Chain A
Amino acid sequence: MTPTRIAQRLLLAVLLFFSLNTFAADDAPMRAMKDELARSMAQIQLLKMDRPYFLAYRMDDLNQLDISAMLGSLTQHQPTRMRFIGVEVRVGDYALDNSNYFSARSFAGGMQGMLSSIRQASTDDDYQQLRRSFWLATDAEYKRALEDLSAKRAALAAQNHTGGVPDFTKAPVNTQLQPLVAIAVPQQDLEVLARDLSAVFRTMPGVYGSSVAIQYRDHFTRYINSDGSVFTRSQPMLKIQINAQTQAPDGTPVSDSLEFYGHTLADLPAKADLLARTRAMGDRILKLRAAPSEDHYNGPVLFEGEAAPEILMQQFADGLVATRTPVSDDARFEMFFNQLMSQMGGNSFADKIGGRVLPDFLSLSDNPLLASYHGALLLGASRIDDDAVATRETKLVDHGLLKTLLATRVPTKAVPQSTGSRRGWGPAPSNLIVATDKATTEADLRADLLRRVKERGLGYGIVVRHVGGGGSASFIQRAAQMAQQGGQAGTSLAEVYRLYPDGHEEPVKGVEISDMNAAQFRDIVAAGDTPAVYTDEFIPRVGALFSLGTSASTDQPVVSCVAPDLLFEELSLTGSQGPFPNPPIGPSPLAK
C-alpha cells in the first residue's frame, strides 16, 4: 500500500485562479510584444509576397534551480534565470500555410537552426531591447515561412496528396491574465533536504550509487497573438527524484527511484516521511540483490498503487494525442515518418476512434480544470493552453470505446478542432483520470489474480508496485526500439513481487515486460477501488519535433494520471537481458 493512495469518491476539486485584471497594465515586456506584433502584422512584407495571416509572440521567464546531492554532499547547485522569446509566423491561409512542412532544410544549422523560432532575450524589462528582439526574430521567421510555403506548394503540386485537412483552425479570442508573482525559491531548505535525503545511503555501503536531484522551476509566460488573444501564466513546479542502484553478485543491476512532484515544498510529503521512504527503498534494493530473478513468466499481472497510473502513462498515454504528418518535398520521408510514429507508439490511436481500446468497465478523460483529486495534487492543471485556447475536460474513452484524441489548433483528419491541449511543442495530456464502474476491493483483486494463477497451473502470480524509469527512460527505450528496426525492447520493472496462493509475497529482481503495447490494455480484466496518482514529464513525440519551425514554446509538459489498481489477464515477463558490467573489484570506501 503506498501512502499516496486516496479514497475513492468522485468529488473533484476545481482549480482556483487569480482574478483576471491584476496583471500590471504597464508591463514593459507585454507592451513591447503588443507594439511589435501590431507593427509586424501591419507592415511586414517582402517584395509582393504573402504577408502573415497569423502571428503569435511568447515570452517565457524561466527561473530554475537544480540541486543534486550524494551521500550528504551537494554535487550540483545551479540556479538559472533566463528569458526566452518565441515567434510563430503563419503565411498563406488557414487551409494552406507554411506549417506542417518538412524538408532537409529544416535540419540546416543543426539544433540551433531547428529551434530558430526560440531565442534568448534580455532579462531586463527593457522595452526597446525586447521589442528589438521580437523585430529580428519575426523577420527571420517570416523569411523562413515564405520559403517553406513556396517549397510546400511546389511539393504539393508535384505529389498526389490525399490529405485535404487545413493547416490551422480558427479559435475564439481569449484573455486570461495572472499576475507576475515573484516566488522566493527556498534555496536553503532545498539544499538541506537534498543533503539529508542523500545522507540516508551513507550507512548502506552495499548501495553502490545513489543520488538526490531536486528541481524547482517556474515559467512565467506572456503570450499574445494576432487574433487578439492574450494570456499570462505562472507554472511553478518542484520535483524531487531519489535514485539508488547496486548490483547482484552475478552482475544483474538492481535499481529503484522515488519521484515527488508539487508546486511548492508544502505540497510534498513531510520530511520524516521522505526520509523513511528513501530508507525503505535502500533496504529494499539491498534485499533484492539476493532475490531470485524471473526467467520467464506468462500470466496475470496486477499493477498496484502508483504502478497502475505509471504503466498507463508509459505505455498508453502516448497514443492519446493527434499528431499531424508533415508534408515533405520527399514523399519517402512521409512514409518514413508514419512508420516511425507507429513504431514509437505515437500514432497508435489515430485510426481507432470509435473502436475499443479499454475494457467496457473503464472510462478515461483528460481534465486540465482539476487542480487536485481527493487532496492529491494534479500537476497538469491550466485554464488556458499554449495556443491561448480555453482548456476543458475531454472524454477520451467512454466505457472502453475511444471517442476522440487531444489536439491543438493544428487539425488532423481524426480531430478537426482543438481540444485546448497544446502544451509546449504539441498536443499533450494534462490530467488523465481513469474511472471504473466495476470497482473491486484489494482483497478481491488478489483473489481474482490467484484464481487465474490456479486456472493456468502456475505456482504464483505477479504484482508490480513500481515500474520505474519515468518518461525519459521510456523515451530512451523507444529510441533503442527504433535502432533495432522495430524490434521490441523490454520495459524494466523496479518493484515486482511473486504472490503465492497462500498469500505471501516474495520480491524478484531484474524483471522486464516484453512486447508491452497499448493494445494489451483491452485485456485488463479488473480494476481496484482506490485510485492512486502518478505524475511525470511528458516527452514530446516525434511529430512535435518536426513542428519546431512553427513552435514558440520551451516548456516541458508535466502530466498527472489517476488510476485504480489494474489486473491484466496476461503479460509476458522475462529476466533482464545482459551483458552487465562486472561488480566492483574493491569494496566501497564506506564499508568498514
Chain B
Amino acid sequence: MKWLSRSISLALLCSGSLAIAQQTPSDPVLQTMHAELTRSFQNLQKAPLPPYFLSYQLTDNRAIDITSSFGAIMGSSDQSSRLLDLDLRVGDYTLDNTHPLRGGEIDTDFASMLDRQPMPLDDDPNALKVALWRETESKYRHAVQRFQKVKANVQVQVAAEDQSGDFSHEAPETYFETPTTYSIDSAAWEQKLRRITAPFAQHPEILENSAEFIAEIETRRYVNSDGSQIQISSPFYRIIISATAKADDGMELPLYQTYMSFHPDGLPNDATLQHDVNSMVETLLALVKAPVADPYTGPAILSGRASAVFFHEIFGHRVEGQRQKNENEAQTFRRKVNQSVLPDFLSVYSDPGLRQRAGVDLVGYYPYDDEGVKATRVTVVDKGVLKNFLMSRTPIEGFDQSNGHGRRQQGYPVVARQSNLVVESSKQVSRAELKKLLIEQIKAANKPYGLFFDDIEGGFTFTQRTIPNAFNVMPTVVYRVYPDGKEELVRGVDLIGTPLIAFSKILATDDDVAVFNGICGAESGWVPVSASSPGLLVSQIEVQRKAKSQERAPILPPPPAVREN
C-alpha cells in the first residue's frame, strides 16, 4: 500500500539558494568517506566473492521542531543525526545479491535493520572510518549469504518475464554544495505557535489541534566505487496546522493547513496565519453541523489539490519503474508504452529539478537522487500517450538506464519514486465554466446533485495483484452541487475507484493549478513529493462512507476557563 500524507514530518532533500555548487569536493567528511570506500573495496577484492559495487550515503540532519496545542507548547526540540546507507553488491550487473527472491521466500534482513552501527557526529576521520569499515564488513557478509539464496532461487523458479539485469551502468558524477547552517530563534517561534493555536481553545467542538514548526537542514554526502562524489545541503522550513472537531454522532473531522518554503521568509506572516486559523475554525464548526453524505456515483469536480493527490495515487505510483518488473505487481502500464492511457488533452511529467509551481515551493526537488544519478525531467505521458517510466538504477525491459528517480528514506533500500508530478492540460476552462459543465453532466445523468471535492488530507492505493487495484482519496471538505448551482457542505465520505476506469472518465480541466506538497510512503520509506494539477471534471466517481470513530463526545463539558486563582 502506498500512502500520501501531509501530517507526518520527515527529512527533506532540497537545495536552497545558499548552497553554492562547486566543481572540486573539498569537504573533509566526503574525503574520509572516499578514502575508506577505496580501502575497504580494495581489501574485499581479496575475498572469494568480491563486491563489484560499493556506495556510502551519509545523511546529516538537524531539525528544530516546536509544537503547540490550544495555546501551550507541547514540545520543543533541536536534534542532530547522522545516518549511513550502504549499498554493496556481489555478483555482476546482470545478477547480484539484490535480485528479488520469488515464490514466498522470506526476504527481510531483520539482523541488519536492528544492528546498525551508529555514525560519529563529529567529523573525526578515525571514528568515521571505523564506523564505515564495520558496516561494510557486516553488509558484505549479508550480501554473500543472500547471493547464494538468489542463485538457488533463480534456478528453482520459472524464468522471469522481464529478463533485464539487476543494476544499470551509470557515469560517475561530481557535485558539491557547501554545508548550510541556519540560526533559529526558538523562543520567538514558541511564542508565535502559542498565538496560532490559542483560538482553537474557545470552541468545545474542537477536541484536538496542533501547530508544528519544523526547520531542517539536510546534508547528504554520497560516494561510490564508480567514482561519484556528491554533496547536497539545504535548509527547509515548514508549518503544519491541524485541528479535529467531533460531531455529535462521534465522527472526527480533521482539517490541515501546511506551508513550506526553502527560505525562512517564505513562510506566511502572523496575520495570514491567524486568518487561516480563523477560517479553519469556521469550516470545522460548519462541518460539525453538516449532513452526512451517502454513498454515491455520479459526476464531480476535483479541485486542483484533490486532482493532484488523485494523480499521485492512481497514476504516479503505477509508472514507478520497478513495478513493471516485479511479478507481484499488477503492472497496469507495462505493455502500454506508446499507447493512449489518458485523455489526449493531458500530459504528465515528473521533474525533480523544478523548485516552484503556481508560486509554491515544491518539496519533491533534488539535484541528484539517492543513487548519485543526476535528476532529470521525465515526460511520462505526452498528449495522453504513455512515453516513459520513473527509473532508478534497477533496469526494466526496454529501459536500461536510470533517470534519477531512485529515492529512499534513510535506512531503506532505494526504489524508483515520484518527485514533482506535474499534470498539464490543453483543455482548460475557468472554474465557473467547469461548474457549468458539471451541472450539464448532472442533468444528463439525471442525478439529484454532483459533488465538489475542495480539499483533501491524502490518499492511498494498492498496486499489487493479490488485492483489487483500488485507490482511496480522503477528502476533508466536500460540497454537494445541485442542478440550480447551490452548494451544500457535507461530511463523511471517501473518494474511491480503480485506475483505468477513473482515467477514462476525465472530461475537462479548469485553469486553477494547485500544488499538494506531501510525504509519500512506499517500499523505500517516506519521501517528500509534490503533485500539481488543475481542477478536473469527471463524468463519474464513487464515494463510500468514511471509517468513523465510535467514541462518544466527552461526557463533561470542557473545564471552566479559570486561569489564575
Contacts and interface: CB of A to CB of B under 8 A. Distances in A.
Interface of A: 28, 35-36, 39-40, 43-46, 68-82, 120-124, 126-132, 135-136, 139-140, 142-143, 202, 208-209, 211, 581-582, 584-590
Contact of B137 (A132, A135, A585): A585
Nearest to B194: A124
Contacts, number: 145
A398 B25 CA distance: 72
Given A120-B74, A126-B71, A582-B141, A136 B554 contact: yes
Interface pairs A-B: 9 shortest CB-CB: A586-B43, A73-B120, A73-B127, A122-B72, A589-B129, A129-B72, A75-B118, A71-B127, A73-B122
A128 B127 contact: no
A121 B208 CA distance: 12
Given A128-B559, A208-B134, A586-B44, A73 B74 contact: no
A74 B119 CA distance: 8
Contact of A72 (B72, B74, B82, B127): B127
Contacts of A208: 134
Contacts of A40: 556
Given A78-B79, A128-B563, A582-B141, 14 more contacts: A36-B559, A39-B556, A46-B552, A68-B118, A72-B127, A75-B118, A81-B76, A122-B73, A124-B73, A142-B555, A585-B140, A587-B43, A588-B130, A589-B39
Interface string B523-565: 0000000000000000000000000000110111011011110
Chain B CB count within 10 A is highest, among A75, A135, A588, A590, for A75
Contacts of A581: 138, 141
Contacts of A120: 74-75
Interface string B121-139: 1101011111101101110
A129 B556 contact: no
A483 B195 CA distance: 52
Given A74-B121, A75-B119, A129-B72, A585 B47 contact: yes
A84 B47 CA distance: 53
Contacts of A72: 122, 124, 126-127
A589 B126 contact: yes
A587 B134 CA distance: 10
A132 B558 contact: yes
B556 A43 contact: yes
Nearest to A35: B559
A70 B558 contact: no
B471 to A, nearest CB: 25
A129 B71 contact: yes
B118 A129 contact: no
B36 interface: yes
Contact of B77 (A71, A80, A131): A80
Nearest to B561: A128
B429 interface: no
Chain A CB count within 10 A is highest, among B71, B122, B136, for B122
11 contacts: A43-B556, A46-B552, A70-B127, A70-B130, A81-B77, A82-B75, A209-B117, A585-B140, A586-B39, A589-B130, A589-B133
Given A39-B556, A72-B124, A585-B47, A209 B134 contact: yes
A129 B39 contact: no
A214 to B, nearest CB: 14
B141 A135 contact: no
A108 to B, nearest CB: 11
A79 B77 contact: yes
Interface string B471-507: 0000000000000000000000000000000000000
Contacts of B119: 75
Nearest to A82: B75
Interface in B39-81: 39-40, 43-44, 46-47, 69-80
A304 B73 CA distance: 51
B56 to A, nearest CB: 14
Interface of B: 36, 39-40, 43-44, 46-47, 69-80, 82, 117-122, 124, 126-131, 133-134, 136-138, 140-141, 194, 201, 207, 551-552, 554-556, 558-559, 561-564
Nearest to B554: A139
Contacts of A74: 120-122
Nearest to A587: B43
Contacts of A142: 555
Contacts of B75: 81-82, 120, 123
A581 B145 CA distance: 11
Contacts of B127: 70-73
Contact of B131 (A70, A77, A587): A70
A582 B46 CA distance: 15
Contacts of B137: 584-586
Main secondary structure of the interface of B (DSSP, over half): mixed
Nearest to B145: A581
Given A73-B124, A581-B141, A590 B118 contact: no
Contacts of A44: 555-556
B559 A75 contact: no
A76 B556 contact: no
A77 B556 contact: no
Contact of A590 (B40, B126, B207, B551): B126
Contacts of A124: 72-73, 194
A76 B74 contact: no
Nearest to B120: A73
A508 to B, nearest CB: 26
Chain B CB count within 10 A is highest, among A68, A130, A139, for A139
A146 B545 CA distance: 29
A28 B39 CA distance: 60
Contacts of B77: 79-81
Nearest to A129: B72
B556 A586 contact: no
Contact of B118 (A70, A202, A584): A70
Contacts of A139: 554-556
B556 A588 contact: no
B69 A127 contact: no
A236 to B, nearest CB: 21
Contacts of B133: 584, 586, 588-589
A33 B500 CA distance: 57
Contacts of A68: 118
Contacts of B552: 46, 143
Chain B CB count within 10 A is highest, among A46, A585, A588, for A585
A71 B74 contact: no
A44 B36 CA distance: 65
B184 to A, nearest CB: 16
A40 B555 CA distance: 10
Contacts of A121: 74
Given A139-B555, A585-B137, A589-B36, A76 B121 contact: yes
Contacts of A586: 39-40, 43-44, 133, 136-137
Given A73-B122, A78-B79, A82-B75, A135 B40 contact: no
Given A132-B70, A586-B39, A73 B121 contact: yes
B143 to A, nearest CB: 12
Contact of B551 (A143, A582, A587): A143
A433 B73 CA distance: 44
Chain A CB count within 10 A is highest, among B117, B129, B133, B136, for B133
Chain A CB count within 10 A is highest, among B47, B70, B207, for B70
B50 to A, nearest CB: 10
Nearest to B41: A586
B58 to A, nearest CB: 13
Contact of B559 (A70, A81, A131, A588): A131
Contacts of B80: 77
A343 B298 CA distance: 60
Nearest to A139: B554
B406 to A, nearest CB: 28
Chain B CB count within 10 A is highest, among A40, A79, A127, for A127
Nearest to A585: B47
Nearest to B553: A139
A124 B190 CA distance: 11
